[in-house]
Chain A
């Protein structure tokens, strides 16, 4: 997969919804048809702009869920009750609907497998979306680099991509996923049943953590706590890359 960098002007393009698939009761994946999409790197996001009949417009940013090599661009969007754009994307947008999009944006929170160090991904809630693009890219391109995802959600029903993640882990010694459910666990649950904490991160982080990269994405308090813990465990601060969002900070 050729590297794609942001060059020149990022034009607004018309995206047409080609399909939609519910992921959870609050999150939907939209597969999009975007003519002349320039490609992206795993972890990048796009700006979405909706236009109303009266010309009013609203813009928000959403992480790309698909891998660069996938046949179409896909966004996974979680509905925020007080949101302006996410309710339309998750409950109104249907195949054939159009909106504007520009990107890809963000050249830092990116993992494209160009280095061999094992990589730790830590996602909270819908913060798993850009990390999923990284896991998908690794699988599609058969990149041998070890990757581990620690994924925290409220309950089993709130986990995005559960079956796909389990499938990736089952078929590949180099990838594994560890879940942490913070509110409710089903009978026989073998994952963690608490919030991500320092002891849990010590369990899941690689022996190579003093040199290897980590990507952390989720709500601000989650990212603050995880990033601080990773640094205390010996991850170099410059190797811990973060994306934070709150109800209004990133993807509402």
Chain B
């Protein structure tokens, strides 16, 4: 069955059948693109822990900070928008279980942003307006796997979806794609960000269903 998810190892290999539950018709065309426990949506849900921040573009900047917090690089909005951009088409998987396929983003690759900088740590912490943080291995933020997105679906990224700029790391659960991002700080030693400290998985691979601690 294309969409069926693997049995949980701790369910003794036999999940109980819920009487009379049949589920939606199985859609084989997308089945192998849905990680375990996910379902397909066509809208773009919004999930945030607090109010949407609104920062004027003339006061926006993006920084890469060293371990001690000193700036390695900094771009104002117009400078940032002058960096080479890519169009990214990807599937996105939210830990709240929705997945959205073939999302089209416009953004700057982190390979461009980190080019020439002395990145000598294995982890970074993304930080955002509103106080949100999320941690990432450098190996997951580079090699064409992560972007700072400023556009979605042909227009500028809306504030409720993380505009003016959000991190985009589509191979991990979407909470890693920090909305309202303002920079990255190198971490001498990995440490949990906001959700990672509140019970959510430190890494967050949707294909291994790493939603929570211990997954």
A contact set with B: CB distance below 8 Å: 5-12, 14, 47, 49-61, 84, 88, 92-93, 97-100, 105-109, 220, 224, 227-228, 230-231, 237-238, 240-242, 244-250
- Ordered nearest first, which 4 A-B pairs have the shortest CB separation? A9-B214, A249-B45, A6-B199, A107-B198
Contact A10 B214 (CB under 8 A): yes
Contact of A249 among B24, B26, B47, B50 (CB under 8 A): B47
Contact of A238 among B50, B211, B212 (CB under 8 A): B50
Contact A12 B213 (CB under 8 A): no
Contact of B131 among A84, A227, A238, A245 (CB under 8 A): A238
Nearest CB of B to A128, in Å: 18
Q: Give the interface size bracket for B toward A.
A: 35 or more
Check if B148 is an interface residue, CB within 8 A of chain A: no
Contact B19 A52 (CB under 8 A): no
Classify the interface of chain B: helix, strand, loop or mixed. Answer: loop
Contact A98 B16 (CB under 8 A): yes
Contact B98 A248 (CB under 8 A): yes
Nearest CB of A to B45, in Å: 3
Check A247/B43 contact, CB under 8 A, given A105-B199, A224-B160, A240-B51: yes
Find the residue from B21, B38, B51, B198 having the highest chain A CB count within 10 A.
Answer: B51
Binds A, one of B4-12, B105-113, B114-122, B162-170: B4-12
Contact B49 A109 (CB under 8 A): yes
Contact B98 A10 (CB under 8 A): no
CA distance A109 to B195 in the complex (A): 11
Check if B73 is an interface residue, CB within 8 A of chain A: no
Contact A106 B37 (CB under 8 A): no
Which A residues touch B38, using CB under 8 A?
A: 59
List CB contacts (< 8 Å) of B131-173 with chain A: 131, 160
CA distance A57 to B24 in the complex (A): 10
Check if B97 is an interface residue, CB within 8 A of chain A: yes
Check A84/B24 contact, CB under 8 A, given A6-B213, A249-B45: yes
Number of A-B contacts (CB under 8 A): 157
Which A residues touch B82, using CB under 8 A?
A: none
List CB contacts (< 8 Å) of B19-77 with chain A: 19-24, 26, 37-39, 41, 43, 45-53
Contact B51 A50 (CB under 8 A): no
Find the residue from B16, B37, B43 having the highest chain A CB count within 10 A.
Answer: B16
Excluding A9-B215, A105-B199, 5 further A-B contacts by CB distance (< 8 Å) are: A6-B213, A10-B212, A56-B1, A56-B23, A238-B131
Nearest CB of A to B95, in Å: 9
Which B residues touch A241, using CB under 8 A?
A: 49-50
Contact A242 B10 (CB under 8 A): no
CA distance A47 to B130 in the complex (A): 27
Which A residues touch B83, using CB under 8 A?
A: none
Which A residues touch B50, using CB under 8 A?
A: 227, 237-238, 240-242
Nearest CB of A to B12, in Å: 10
Contact B26 A56 (CB under 8 A): yes
Check A58/B52 contact, CB under 8 A, given A88-B18, A99-B16: no
CA distance A12 to B16 in the complex (A): 11
Contact of B214 among A8, A61, A242 (CB under 8 A): A8
Contact B1 A54 (CB under 8 A): yes
Show 22 A/B contacts (Cβ-Cβ < 8 Å), sorted by A.
A6-B198, A9-B214, A10-B215, A52-B22, A53-B17, A55-B1, A55-B15, A56-B3, A57-B4, A59-B38, A59-B97, A60-B39, A84-B23, A88-B21, A92-B20, A107-B198, A108-B198, A238-B131, A240-B51, A246-B43, A248-B98, A249-B46
Closest to B11 in A: A12
Which A residues touch B104, using CB under 8 A?
A: none
Nearest CB of A to B96, in Å: 6
Nearest CB of B to A243, in Å: 8
Contact B213 A242 (CB under 8 A): no
Contact A52 B198 (CB under 8 A): no
Contact B49 A14 (CB under 8 A): no
CA distance A97 to B39 in the complex (A): 23
Closest to A230 in B: B51
Find the residue from A6, A59, A92 having the highest chain B CB count within 10 A.
Answer: A59
Contact A51 B18 (CB under 8 A): yes
Closest to A231 in B: B51
